[in-house]
Structure 1
């Protein structure tokens, strides 16, 4: 039986539906229909904190052990893409918004379950597939998943992991630096205190100090990513700016905390502006949305990104879910060395808040995510389908036996 065309149809039908984060009603319906098509019982789960946001779930079986496989349905906007954002095939690649991040992973999960059901495989446990809401923005789908499935024996996020099993993921510190200077007329050399120069110096110092290699539990040394994302300041060329604000994204690892990083950042900033006249820096946490607006204090976005925070986690490689996926990857000819997810996905909540063994495994590469020509390699996609099929069976069988 040639499963490739049918497996690819799940990918094509998901990508064909626009699902920009926050406008996801159509893709929720399509995903529900695909779940029904592969034999899953479905239900909708409204997401706490965000009106109108809904997770769609497909369930197979009802006994223990319980394996939860998750993927977000939303994407970034379609504007600016150099390929058909709703899907086109070129050679062995399928292009479009969400192909790799991450409709491809969710489609591969559905294709794997479709193969298991059509072949009459009886699974000794329960599989739950969750299409989550608004991962790119408010993260409410992942938060709701954690409330609904904190009793799972294993959770897998189908984000693109280059076909490797990632047992850890970074946290994300939403950093804001406010530089305060002394306004003056620009015609007087050295007058005032230039807030833009102070902000520039502080941001560079933070990047230089924190772009370091850290020993990460279970996975070894990893380089921290620090990005300067937005800078705003000044009013006109003849005026020495008295205010400038910079927003950065600082990734951190398990066993680190946002509080400790903030202490380091404050010390770095104070040191770098100590020799600059008429300026000071204040460091705080604040997250901007994709239109450049800060989430208001007390809002859901502020709760997720700042008050609660986007935390790091690491899962013990000896757990059943890690072993099942590593075996499946190896059996399909892949590299079963454990890895770390470079990005952040919405299974972090269930991993950190409820200590459920959680991993990332998905076809595609995160390097193609959020790009103008986003794509997924179809050979990698089909390998992903085969890995999910093998790993689901092994996990449920071995976890049942234990």
Structure 2
């Protein structure tokens, strides 16, 4: 088989897998059908593959590099169609495009692969993967970066629930009730992390209230307030430091904190980053090094495994979760070529 014919076969198979996966709804917690399609793809290429106890699709092989992305998407029905060379549909960018590209590169190069579940909610898949296997030689995590982009850093994540209770009383009384206490605490926390227009967002803490419930308690004798809050953490700050500062602003109430996800900032000088720069240039691109203000499963991998890693994948991250999510198929094809080149370089070292 000629080189051009072989490349066309890879591209055709990768596109078919991509369309099938985007056409298969896979919101967090309901990834089984998409996982089955991935298993079918690896079995068709005579690869060992299994679904683990949390629902991850695992295809262990040459562990010089692990290609991994998430199977789940956020909810939302976007009609799946190809028009003007672009695939429209929920997940085409975040992150079914990267997932399908990595699956195709894994079967072509014989490296390890993992499609993980619940990245958009609990990261249960990545957490289990970190506990269930040893560190690979390198990790390429799949998220949209654009085919010329290499993501090296993500902010961390901390979420908590503020709870306060006060005695009920007439609204004409000047005493602060639990709702006011909650609002006062949050204003104080926000002011402690006030945005600095002269510094990049990546280097700052972002505060965000994401839920609130308050009012007269069921017993009629108290006022209750519950507030769900989230923080994005820059690499210069630890989750413990942020949590201590937020707790220090409490006058009333308590905060129940969830397990944090630490920030990550990888070096651009690792063998993985170098391999991507070379591979991107080989197909006519200009590599861009990125830092993302959000959080990904790479944060968890970096915390658990002492190995070099980057995040990479086709697609415009501005379309993550958007109602017009779509992926140029030419960009998808090029990303598959880049991933194959990178995997081959890393397995040769």
1:205: how far off? 3.2
- Is this contact kept in 2: 1:18–1:27, CA < 8 A? yes
Which position in structure 2 is the counterpart of 1:323?
274
1: CA distance, partners of 2:45 / 2:154: 31
* Offset, 1:148: 4.3
Q: Is the aligned partner of 1:72 residue 2:65?
A: no
Report deviation, 1:74: 1.6
Equivalent residue runs for 1:139-178 within 5 Å: 139-163=123-147, 164-178=149-163
Measure, in 2, the Cα distance between the counterparts of 1:151 and 1:56. Answer: 17
Is the 8 Å Cα contact of residues 266 and 309 (structure 2) preserved in structure 1?
Answer: yes
Q: Secondary structure at the match of 2:98?
A: helix
Per-residue CA deviation, residues 296-355 of structure 1 (Å, 9 max, x unaligned), is: xxxxxxxxxx2xx32222222222112111222233344423222333222433321222
- Distance between the aligned counterparts of 2:235 and 2:96, measured in 1? 27
In the TM superposition, residue 181 of structure 1 has moved relative to its aligned partner by: 4.0
- In structure 2, what is the equivalent of residue 13 of structure 1? 20
- What are the ranges of 5 or more consecutive residues in structure 2 without an aligned counterpart? none
Report what 2:55 is aligned to: 54
Distance 2:248 2:280 in 1: 45
Query: What is aligned with 1:337?
Result: 288
Q: Are the equivalent residues in 2 in contact too, given 1:215–1:221 (CA < 8 A)?
A: no
Question: Structure 1: how far apart are the matches of 2:319 and 2:139?
Answer: 24
**For 1:261, what is the secondary structure of its paired residue?**
helix
Q: What's the counterpart of residue 266 of structure 1?
A: 247
3-state DSSP class of the match of 1:185?
Answer: coil
Cα deviation for residue 206 of structure 1 reads: 2.3
SS of equivalent to 2:95: helix
Match of 1:283 among 255, 261, 264: 255
Deviation at 1:361, TM superposition (A): 0.7
C-alpha deviation, 1:241, in angstroms: 7.6
Q: Describe the shift of the 1:258–1:223 C-alpha distance in structure 2 as closer, same or farther (beyond 3 A).
A: closer
Residue 92 of structure 1 aligns with which residue? 85
CA contact (8 A) 2:64 2:346 kept: no
Deviation, 1:45, is 2.5
Maintained 8 Å contact 2:270/2:308: yes
Cα pair distance change 1:221/1:15, threshold 3 Å? closer
Q: CA–CA distance in 1 between the matches of 2:137 and 2:321?
A: 32
Flag the 1:220–1:170 CA change in 2: closer, same or farther, 3 A: closer
Map of 2:208 onto structure 1: 227
Partner Cα separation in structure 2 for residue 128 and residue 168 of structure 1: 23
Give TM-score scaled by structure 1 length. 0.75
281 and 67 in structure 1: CA distance in 2 versus 1, 3 angstrom threshold:
same
Q: Following superposition of structure 1 onto structure 2, how do residues 162-311 of structure 1 map, counting pairs within 5 Å?
A: 162-163=146-147, 164-186=149-171, 188=172, 190-212=173-195, 222-235=203-216, 242-270=223-251, 280-286=252-258, 306=259, 309-311=260-262
CA distance in 1: counterparts of 2:197 and 2:261, whole angstroms: 18
> By how many angstroms is 1:381 displaced?
1.9
Partners of 1:357 and 1:211 in 2: CA distance: 33
Shift of 1:69: 0.5
Aligned residue for 1:234, secondary structure, equals: strand
Partner Cα separation in structure 2 for residue 383 and residue 138 of structure 1:
31
Distance 1:336 1:108 in 2: 18
Counterpart of 2:26 in 1: which secondary structure?
Answer: coil
Moved more, 14-23 or 204-213: 204-213
- State the Cα distance separating 1:171 from its structure 2 match: 1.5
Name the CA shift for 1:196/1:377 in 2 (closer, same or farther; >3 Å): farther
Of 33, 44, 56 in structure 1, the residue corresponding to residue 40 of structure 2 is 33
In structure 1, the residue matched to 2:303 is 352
1:39–1:324 CA distance, 2 compared to 1 (3 A): farther
Give the aligned length: 339
Kindly indicate whether the alpha-carbon contact (under 8 Å) linking 1:214 and 1:222 is maintained by their aligned counterparts in 2.
no
Q: CA offset at residue 9 of structure 1?
A: 1.3
